[in-house]
Amino acid sequence: MMEWLESIQKMLGFAWLPIWTLLKIVAIVLPLMGAVAYLTLAERKVIGWMQIRIGPNRVGYFGLLQPLADGLKLLMKEIIVPSGANKLLFIIAPILTLMPALAVWAVVPFNAKLVVANVNAGLLYVLAMASLGVYGVIIAGWASNSKYAFLGSLRSAAQIVSYEIAMGFALVTVLMAAQSLNLGDIVRGQQGAHGLLNWYFIPLFPMFVVYFISGVAETNRAPFDVAEGESEIVAGFHVEYSGMAFALFFLGEYANMILVSFLTSIMFLGGWLSPVPFLPDSILWMFIKVAFVLFLFLWFRATFPRYRYDQLMRLGWKVFIPISLIWVVVVGAWMQTSYWLW
Amino acid sequence: MSFFDVVFYLFAAITLLAATGVIVARNPVHAALFLVLAFCSAAGIWMLLEAEFLAIALVLVYVGAVMVLFLFVVMMLDINLVKLKEGFWRWFPFGALIAGLMVFEMVWVLGSRQTAEVSKAVVHAANYSNTKELGRLLYTQYVYPFELAAVILLVAMVAAIALTLRRRTGVKTQQVSEQVKVRKADRLRIVSMPSEPRADGK
């Protein structure tokens, strides 16, 4: 296998690196899109069961072809550009939402070796890319030239910027504990003889909660979906979008959910490490953890009513930021004592 | 010309075009978005110099936070462009003079043979962490200036918040702590009543 690869490498010469990188990108993006499609099905099924319904079950066995049918429907629909809209920005906005959601995957490690770019400043890169996601929302709201869309985008932008701060501080504690910004090294820092007791969610438990809830807020998921708020501002920033342009927003949101789940698993739940010492570490553990965190997202949506806007801002600024500031100091002091076991 | 040079000139061209866009764009929102593009490509150039911490911090702070708030303000203001562009040609020679002076200075400093030796980017090994080195310097050698800058920023922030703080009397606001403290017994009284027998005795 390796000799075969090397012979191709020699044949292509200078063009090898871009082609090989493109192949790696495709190898991540295609399964990701599949995961997004089936996450929508899982969401409808899980929420259905929680509300004592069956969920989609008509298209294919157990509704397994439902996501394909939905995708086909969105592809066939006409993309309507409102007459007062700023056409160029209106088209760019959904692309700007999806782009950072996909770009972050470059540094996400799936196991000890499987990663596109093993970047030293991986955690910083994740934060920077996550902070770009807000542009899609703002530009979509502004370019639509609609009151509802604009109000939705303003709400959403304020929410995302606010929760980013708490999220950043949660990541600061992780990098203090791991003493590295490299996501692979962060997972390796959680390796130890005691399985899941070595993971960071134990010493950093408040940050684990803060990070996950901020992640839910960042992805505009219920109970923090005031950006959509269909009962107040009909659908928020993407009210004027239809067809594939709308589908791109949808893809971005779900890709971000999967991303937050991966990052939560990597930083707090030990990534690909096995929870018990007698079982081997494997990429399977990663997927199990991610599936669990994704289930939490769906569970939240089925359980909690939407936050009122002022309460949401209060939670971000007056609860999460003080908690995370204090925990940074606590972890810093704790690490100086001999009671730091991680 | 190596691949490295091609990437550098590409980023430089985008930065210059975007910077020009900032001043010539008719729509203030477009101008702000051009500025975002300029920041992003400047971050790309820094990345080429292996200054990954600075590059990512530029994207994180300026693009991710500062420009978002900028856009916020620009979108909500009703800016009269005609008034804003007034006197553009009157001040143009003055601005062009300053720009020319800056270009001259830059060429003078960066183009001379002595600085060319100094300004050559140092190439480090793959495991070299720019962030760690910067952190070490900031928290050891430059700890006092660093802390001082942080305190000045904090004072500015407190001042900005204090300016917007207005205490008005007679306004109905929510007391969240009191709302949370409310127990069922404060609001609800459950009375146990014997049921009345029906009038027709059934």
Q: Do B63 and A132 touch (CB under 8 A)?
A: yes
How many C-beta atoms lie closer than 10 Å to residue A317's C-beta? 14
Q: Do A247 and A241 touch, CB atoms closer than 8 A?
A: no
| Angstrom distance (rounded) from CA B17 to CA B13 | 6
B175 contact residues in A (CB cutoff 8 A): none
Please, what is the Cα angle at A165 between A163 and A168, to 5 degrees?
Answer: 110
Q: Which positions in chain B have a beta carbon within 8 angstroms of at least one beta carbon in chain A?
A: 29, 33, 36, 52-53, 56-57, 59-60, 63-65, 68-69, 71-72, 75-76, 127-131, 174, 176
Half-sphere exposure of B7 (CA within 13 A, CB side): 11
Residue reference for tokens 């259905």: A48
Q: Residue B64 and residue B56: Cα distance in Å, rounded? A: 10
Per CB-CB distance under 8 Å, the chain B contacts of A121 are 52-53, 56, 129-131
Hey, of A21, A165, A181, which one would you mutate to test binding to chain B, going by the most B CBs within 10 A of its CB?
A181
Residue B148 pLDDT grade (very low, low, confident, very high; cuts 50, 70, 90): very high
CA dihedral for B62, B65, B70, B75, sign (positive or negative) = positive
pLDDT digits (tens, 9 = 90+) for B88-141: 788 888 989 999 999 999 888 877 776 666 655 566 666 677 778 888 888 888
Q: Looking at beta carbons, which residues of chain A come within 8 Å of B60?
A: 124, 127-128, 131
Closest CA to A144 of A88, A101, A98: A88
Cis peptide before A109 (omega within 30 of 0): no
pLDDT tens per residue, range B76-103: 877 666 676 777 788 888 989 999 999 9
pLDDT tens digit sequence for B39-56: 989 998 888 887 788 888
Output the CA–CA distances (angstroms, integers) from residue B74 to A151, B54, B71, in the order listed: 15, 27, 5
Nearest to B53 by CA among A5, A127, A42: A127
The answer to whether A98 touches A253, Cβ cutoff 8 Å, is no
ipTM associated with this complex: 0.81
Neighbours of A342 (CB within 10 A): 17
- Coil, strand, or helix at residue A272? coil
Token pair of A225, please? 């979906």
Residues of B in contact with A124 (CB under 8 A): 52-53, 56-57, 60, 131
Could you give the 3-state DSSP secondary structure of residue A109?
Answer: coil
Tokens found for residue A239: 């009210």
What does the block give as tokens for B126? 């793959």
Report chain B residues whose CB lies below 8 A from the CB of A85.
none
Distance CA B74, CA A79 (A): 28
Say whether A124 and B56 touch across the interface (CB within 8 A).
yes
Tell me whether residues B68 and A142 touch, CB distance under 8 A: no
CB A141: neighbour CB atoms within 10 A? 29
Please give the Cα distance from A61 to A56 (Å, whole number).
10
As a whole number, the mean pLDDT across chain B is 83
CB contact under 8 A, B64 and A138: no
Cβ-defined contact of A128 to B53 (cutoff 8 Å):
no
CA distance A60 to chain B (A): 43
Per-residue b/e over B177-190, b at no fewer than 16 CB within 10 Å? eeeeeeeeeeeeee
Look-up of token digits 């910083």: A124
Tokens matching residue B145: 């200036």
Six-digit token string for A192: 């130890």
Helix axes A147-178, A243-268, angle to 10 degrees: 20
Q: Where are the alpha helices (DSSP H) in A57-146?
A: 66-76, 87-103, 122-143
Instruction: Residue B33: list chain A partners with CB under 8 A.
Output: 89, 139
pLDDT tens series, chain A, 342 aa = 567 777 777 776 677 777 888 888 888 889 888 899 889 898 989 999 998 888 888 887 888 888 888 888 888 888 888 887 788 888 888 888 888 888 888 888 888 777 777 777 888 888 888 888 888 888 888 888 888 888 888 888 888 888 888 888 888 898 888 888 888 888 888 887 777 788 888 888 889 999 999 988 888 887 887 767 666 666 777 778 877 888 888 888 898 899 999 999 988 888 888 888 788 778 888 888 899 999 998 998 888 888 888 888 888 888 899 999 999 999 889 888 887 777
